[in-house]
Structure 1
Amino acid sequence: MTEVRRGSLLESLHLGHAVVCDDTGQIVRSWGDPETVIYPRSSCKMVQALPLVTSGAAGKYGLTSEHLALACASHNGAAIHTDRVGAWLDQLGKTDGDFRCGPQMPADEEACHGLIRAYETPCQVHNNCSGKHAGFLTLSAHMGAGPEYVDIDHPVQQAALNAFEETTGLSSPGYGIDGCSAPNFATTLHGLARAMAFFASARDRSDRQSRAAARLVEAMVRHPELVAGEGRACTELMRAMNGRVAIKTGAEGVFAAIVPEMKLGVALKIRDGATRASECSIAAILVRLGVLDADHPATRKYMNAPILNRRGIETGIIKPTSDLIAG
């Protein structure tokens, strides 16, 4: 999928799988094995957020597009994220202690340094998944369910499982526990791409789930800075595509894309879990689909990206393989 060259030598090679799926569920293009079973990790947060909207919880609590973008986010823990999630908690009458995601040092440099200078430790609101968990808390409150909303048998997680299986078109063979303690349901790469294609074609349908999916996609592309943050591939590449495409990264080399104008869903998994390869590969596929400019500065940061040493000398390049570009 992605190769790393130093000088003229191929120094490293990242293998992987990718699928482009249309709105009928059929594979348009694939690399590797489409039936590989994976954990989507955070790439499927928009699926986990579906019950928040379809249940009526989003409407009941007056959630805006910013709330919905944060529900789909793996954010940097910057002030623009934590301030909004904190206000969301206040609106629910909840506190940081009601979260079940665990504390995490923010990836945002200013926020991180601010905590260090103040001799403070991070809270759960700093967790990159706190927006998703605020959504879980909102749904749980709407359902009148108990506080342990990450338990597999909790109504919130059962609703997430139902949405996941409905959009992927497959029964999940099992689940693992994600970094934020929520269940992460396994599926095939084809299933994940099929779910993304469901979101991509949602505007063509009027059923409740499709309307909810369209709202979530709109929220993601309207607020790319909330979905990830400054310096992140999700934010920078969505901005480069001017709202045409929603993309979402996941841990261990997973990436997903929703392309409404073509009614296509994309899912990829890098076998060794390397983020540099998943970012390069998703950029290459989006360029191939014609929705991302290969020469845009944001694209060049991840695809055909120069490798610089500590003196700023260009020593190599990270680039997609010829199979990914032309195969």
Structure 2
Amino acid sequence: MKDTAMYIPTYEDMLAAHQRIAPHIHRTPVRQSAYLNELTGAQLFFKCENFQEPGAFKVRGATNAVFGLDAAQAAKGVATHSSGNHASCLSYAAMLRSIPCNVVMPRTAPQAKKDTVRRYGGKITECEPSTTSREETFARVQAETGGDFVHPYNDPRVIAGQGTCAKEFVEQTDGLDCVLAPIGGGGMISGTCLTLSTLAPETRIIAAEPEQADDAYRSFKAGYIIADDAPKTIADGLLVPLKDLTWHFVSNHVSDILTASDPEIIDAMKLIWKHLRVVMEPSSAVPLATILKNPETFRGKRVGIVLTGGNVDLDRLPWTI
């Protein structure tokens, strides 16, 4: 992997990432629900990345970055900023390699995600819940630690790692008409684009986003990146804007971006909990919410959905707040 944030990862990078991370991640299962198929009029296939050990797909990209470091840089450790799942997954990967991990997290991040970071040995520095505060605090932490910056999504190593999920998804299903994943900064969607554009170019890629944090949707319609500094939505994992690398994949390979309101996201989350019987967080429910909102788009189709994470605060479930 070339050492530049502007390097656009390739399909070969994804294949190398899959070989590198295979000993350290789960090949997560694909689940179906007869009830949800009947409700939507589509065949839905759920790729359960919430079953990864740290509870989220981001372990793929984080592990690829950590185990791709040379010995000299690994000794200095890694550093990042994240609302939770990337912080947890990078801490987990760093723990596996026995190197330091420093993370900057919004003070409003769910306690469950902070607890997970600390359980894996990550050191947390809190910031205000805005992109500006996050990046300013991180610059100070990285200067103090010298850790390799593993960006939550705008990093070719991370995107290549996330692309391994789509590779498995294709291998586990007998062809999909479209694949949906949530979009915040765009790491999962970019990895999906990276893989499917080569492995299954006929499969449409659709991103799903909260209405209350719809900067990717507005960017997609405008043709350039529009960034919100401090959006608010129940889908706390989708609060960050697109960056140059992820915008490259979104603008070139995504077929559409659909949005759903917070109440619609919560309703979809309850349906998944009840009928798939799996624990997943609000961000993971956004794709199903958009399918329920746009049934004509998906009726009769074979639809893949990435359940991106399951790190939810059980004491503050969204339907109880």
Normalization by structure 1: what TM-score?
Answer: 0.31
- Structure whose alpha-carbon radius of gyration is higher: 1
